[in-house]
């Protein structure tokens, strides 16, 4: 049964983004290998996706794998790719049943064939859904995203379809993976670090930032509810007084 939102609908962030950190430390604290931390991290997805859908968050963006994460040990990368494939295979029906529309932030061409096929299938199957917008950042880096947007605009200009003067913030934003979505209102990072780590740099311009000590596998509905309450208590000024 759907639970009541922890804050008033008028205060609900439209776009929540999460840097899901601390899987490795969660595993280490239990004497487990790191991949088991990632496995526990994947299990934490469902309650958060469901809560966001029930509580009226419009858009949820999750940082699952960065362009820098390829530099991790081969076994860890391949364990993560396996988990991604498994997640989209196993969860697709649940996402569809919940009217979730999935998008991929990042370059699919850089992913191994298995996970790429499962992710793209989920994106395609959910394309007509009208509920929660779930963005999974995979093989994603914000600087690469921004450079890509600049490249797309330059190509249009070279073709003669666009005058440089027409390029403003709105047009630029329309070339990002997040085209058409609201800016991030609330950026949560688990695991206690205070870094943005190349995640959604354009979209977080006025986001409220919350760094939480809990490791991602321990992040549940109640932690999300607390984060939303903290967000609702913030005064947002957007550069004004």
Closest to ligand FPP by CB, 63 vs 153, is 63
Closest to ligand FPP by CB, 49 vs 186, is 49
Q: How far is the CB of 219 from ligand FPP (least distance, A)?
A: 10
Residues that are catalytic = 21, 69
b/e burial code for range 82-113 (CB count within 10 A of at least 16 → b):
bbbbebbeebbeebeebebbbbbbbbeeebee
User: Where would I find the H helices in the chain?
Assistant: 23-29, 34-43, 45-55, 74-97, 113-125, 142-158, 169-173, 221-232
Closest to ligand FPP by CB, 13 vs 22, is 22
Residue with tokens 């003669």: 160
Q: How far is CA 93 from each of CA 17, 87, 120, 187, rounded to the nearest angstrom?
A: 23, 11, 14, 28
- Euclidean distance between CA atoms 52 and 46, whole angstroms: 10
Q: Which residue is nearest to ligand FPP (CB)?
A: 24
Q: How far is CA 194 from each of CA 45, 139, 200, rounded to the nearest angstrom?
A: 22, 22, 15
Site residues (vs ligand FPP, CB under 6 A): 20-25, 38, 41-42, 64, 69, 83-84, 87, 136, 191, 216
Q: How many Cβ atoms are within 10 Å of 176's Cβ, its own excluded?
A: 19
Task: Tokens for 153, please give them.
Answer: 């605009």
Closest to ligand FPP by CB, 18 vs 153, is 18
Q: How far is the CB of 52 from ligand FPP (least distance, A)?
A: 15
Q: How many Cβ atoms are within 10 Å of 206's Cβ, its own excluded?
A: 12
């Amino acid at each position: 049964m759907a639970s009541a939102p922890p804050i008033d609908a008028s205060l609900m962030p439209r776009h929540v983004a999460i840097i899901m950190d601390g899987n490795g430390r969660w595993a280490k604290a239990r004497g487990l290998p790191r991949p088991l931390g990632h496995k526990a991290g994947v299990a934490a997805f469902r309650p958060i996706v469901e809560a966001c859908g029930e509580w009226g968050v419009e858009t949820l963006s999750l940082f699952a794998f960065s362009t820098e994460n390829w530099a991790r040990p081969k076994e860890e990368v391949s364990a993560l790719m396996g988990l991604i494939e498994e997640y989209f295979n196993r969860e697709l029906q649940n996402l569809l049943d919940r009217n979730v529309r999935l998008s991929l932030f990042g370059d699919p061409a850089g992913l191994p064939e298995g996970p790429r096929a499962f992710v793209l299938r989920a994106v395609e199957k959910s394309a007509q859904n009208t509920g929660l917008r779930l963005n999974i950042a995979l093989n994603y880096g914000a600087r690469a995203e921004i450079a890509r947007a600049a490249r797309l605009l330059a190509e249009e200009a070279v073709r003669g379809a666009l005058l440089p003067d027409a390029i403003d913030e709105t047009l630029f934003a329309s070339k990002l993976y997040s085209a058409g979505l609201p800016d991030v209102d609330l950026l949560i990072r688990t695991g206690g670090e205070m870094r943005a780590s190349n995640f959604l740099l354009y979209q977080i311009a006025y986001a409220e930032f919350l760094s939480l000590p809990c490791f991602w596998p321990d992040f549940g509905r109640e932690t999300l509810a607390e984060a939303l309450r903290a967000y609702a208590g913030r005064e947002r000024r957007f550069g004004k007084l």
